[in-house]
Amino acid sequence: MAMKKKAKKVVKNVGFVVLALVILSAIVYVTGVIIGEFPNPLKDDVVPEPEPGDVIVFTLSNGGFEQGSTGWAVRHGFNIVSDVFHGGTHSLKSSGTYYSSTEDPNKGDARASWTNSIAVSPGQRVVASAWIKTESSSCVDGLRIGMDFKDSSGSPVKVVDGEFVKWGNDWTYREISGVAPAGTVRINLWLQTRPYACPESGWYDDINLEVIEPAE
């Protein structure tokens, strides 16, 4: 009888220890996701580290705007300047603009973007980066880059939004990446300032984008 009781007690204690470990692990994991130490499975893309044998199949040209707007759709709210830059002697300046898709449908998207389609196949890795500077402002958000992975009908199969460089920061580096999902035929790289009507300015420079064919 005593042995049985003792065994029951041991089982109960082990049960408590396991439960405590599970709760502790959950707290550590959730804290990790919140502070950004661990990937958030709902949000973050797991992009493999570079491997020997990876081949870069596309590199963006004129990411520093030294050839003016060549290759870029510089829409309303954007212009090439030579008084502020991160590299070389030019950058892309973003100023407050007005955009309403319902009131003014023909004005066009208030995002600058790389005009030419960049061919990407499923499984290929895309890494893009930019240097961004912003004036001080009480506006929310700021400036960021992002990319849309699109299928043959032009529908996005995946969107990667970069983290904003908030208003009031000197040149700051941002990098985004993603693996092309099934159905991808191309990507669209875009530069976005939010809110569009913020009266202050921001600048983009030294933008890089590589499409990488992973090693076999």
Of 70 and 155, CB closest to Ca ion = 70
SS3 62: coil
Of 207 and 211, CB closest to Ca ion = 207
> 19-58 mask for Ca ion (x: CB under 5 A)?
----------------------------------------
Of 47 and 84, CB closest to Ca ion = 84
CA-wise closest residue to 130 among 112, 116, 117: 112
d(CA 94, CA 134): 9
Shortest Å, Cβ 112 to Ca ion: 14
Of 133 and 150, CB closest to Ca ion = 133
Contact predicate 91/65, CB 8 Å:
yes
Give CA torsion, residues 14, 20, 25, 30, to 10 deg: 160
Instruction: Give the tokens for residue 170.
Output: 């000197």
Contact predicate 167/142, CB 8 Å:
yes
Residues 66-125, interacting with Ca ion (CB under 5 A): 85, 87-88, 90
Residues 56-75, interacting with Ca ion (CB under 5 A): 64
Shortest Å, Cβ 87 to Ca ion: 5
d(CA 215, CA 213): 7
Instruction: Give the tokens for residue 109.
Output: 């998207």
Among 63, 125, 174, 205, binds Ca ion (CB under 5 A): 205
Shortest Å, Cβ 215 to Ca ion: 32
Q: How many alpha carbons fall within 13 Å on the CB side of residue 70? A: 10
Shortest Å, Cβ 92 to Ca ion: 8
Contact predicate 211/126, CB 8 Å:
yes
Of 90 and 174, CB closest to Ca ion = 90
Nearest position to Ca ion, beta carbon: 64
Shortest Å, Cβ 73 to Ca ion: 18
> 155-194 mask for Ca ion (x: CB under 5 A)?
----------------------------------------
Contacts with Ca ion: how many residues (CB under 5 A)?
A: 6
d(CA 83, CA 100): 30
Of 167 and 203, CB closest to Ca ion = 203
The CA radius of gyration of the chain, in Å to the nearest whole number, is: 24
**Residue ranges in contact with Ca ion by CB under 5 A:** 64, 85, 87-88, 90, 205
